[in-house]
Amino acid sequence: MNISHVSLINKMEQELHKAKQAERPQNIREHINSIKALCEVMLETESVGTSQHSFSKELPAQQMTMPAVNQQSQTVRISEESKLETDDGANGDSLFEF
């Protein structure tokens, strides 16, 4: 499936505009990553040329504009009261304790 260069460039311009309007650095980074992905798609389709046996890595527009939640690390804290208590004497902190 070939995507026209004009449509890719238009999408890049939209993402650039959104990046300029974004206030949080994380949102700016997401839009810049979308632009990067669009550039990679465009470069890949150019390198393929007219070859019929080659394929390019094309990402749907939805996937490129979705927030990258997995990039943020989240800390989970376990309080002393919420530790698992078992009947067999194991404290539940380790998977390897039987």
Query: pLDDT per residue over 59-83, tens digit each?
Result: 555 455 554 444 444 555 555 555 5
Residue 75 lies in a domain: no
Contacts of 3 (CB under 8 A, 6+ apart): 41, 45, 58
Q: Is the pLDDT of residue 36 over 50?
A: yes
pTM of the model: 0.47
Residue at 81 is within a domain = no
Supply the mean pLDDT for the chain: 71
Q: What are the two backbone dihedrals, phi and then psi, of residue 90, each rounded to the nearest 5 degrees?
A: -75, 145
Domains in the chain: how many in total?
Answer: 1
Is residue 53 domain-resident?
yes
Q: Which residue type, as a one-letter code, is found at position 42? A: M
Domain of residue 42, residue span: 5-68
